[in-house]
Homo-oligomer: A and B are copies of this chain.
Amino acid sequence: MTDKKQIAFVLYEGLTMLDMIGPLQVFTGIGDPYQAVVVAETTEPMDVSGGIMKFAAPYTFDDVPNPVGIIVPGGGMPTIRAMANQRLRKYLLDNVDSTEFIGSVCTGALILAAAGLLEGRDATTHWGYYPELEKFGVIYKRQRWVEEGKIITSAGVSAGIDMALYLAARLVGEERAKQIQLGIEYDPEPPFGRLDYTGVLEQAITPENFSDEQRQMYKEALTDDPAVYERLMN
């Protein structure tokens, strides 16, 4: 037991590193009464971002049964696999009523959708995956983050940093959020400026246009819950 309000960052095999570390870095600075913690099915080290390194969580889901908030990072195929991860989804569903927020970064939104949390809602995800998100009755918004009730979703990978600063301000006030921003010296200067989204969304792949190989990969990734596969493909 702890007297802190725990914000649980969900680690799973193969997630995209920055999806988790961006917002986690922000929340390590949040201070009392909040505490960021990393949870996973196991505390064993697991590959991230195609195996470039390993991350290990100090806590299992059971160790953090009552988080005040949950953040679910995204990734590529490993995230599709996580959409059918019953243990992970159970963690979300067990806590959806008691938490103050459930958030996702990038394709983490697909996991929230597979858990049934985004039906009929506005939400965002990585631009390349928005057609998949829409298969779950979601209205995709190309925004940095989208908040609807207690669900907050962010755009791809790096967007989790912006979302986390916004959330931090909601939890502890704008002044402390700004102190966090100063601490991580978040004063972005992308060397080639901001993104130009012209023609970008058209590059997103829709399940209708999947190759046989892609369909097969998705089918295998979603073996544990064929209903998710069916939903994506229809």
Question: Which residues of A come within 8 Å of B, CB atoms?
Answer: 11, 16-18, 21-22, 24-25, 28, 36-38, 45, 49-58, 106, 126-127, 144, 155-159, 161-162, 165-166, 169, 174, 177-178, 181-192, 194-195, 200
Contact = CB atoms under 8 A, between A and B. Distances in A.
A233 B7 CA distance: 39
Contacts of A159: 185, 187
Contact of A184 (B11, B57, B158, B177): B158
A200 B106 CA distance: 33
A18 B26 CA distance: 9
Contact of A52 (B36, B53, B166): B36
B126 A185 contact: yes
Interface centre among A16, A21, A38, A200 (most CB of B within 10 A): A21
B38 A185 contact: no
17 contacts: A16-B25, A17-B21, A21-B21, A24-B53, A28-B49, A52-B58, A54-B58, A56-B56, A127-B185, A158-B185, A158-B187, A169-B192, A177-B191, A185-B195, A187-B190, A188-B188, A188-B190
A55 B52 contact: no
Q: Considering the complex of A and B, which 8 residue pairs feature the smallest CB-CB distances, nearest first?
A: A156-B185, A188-B188, A18-B25, A54-B56, A157-B184, A21-B21, A187-B195, A166-B191
Contact of A38 (B22, B50, B53, B161): B53
A105 to B, nearest CB: 10
Given A22-B22, A169-B192, 7 more contacts: A51-B58, A54-B55, A156-B184, A165-B190, A165-B192, A182-B200, A186-B195
B36 A25 contact: no
Contacts of A158: 25, 161, 184-188
B53 A57 contact: yes
Given A56-B54, A157-B25, A190-B162, A195 B183 contact: no
Interface centre among A18, A106, A184, A191 (most CB of B within 10 A): A191
Contacts of A184: 18, 156-158
Contacts of A24: 17, 52-53
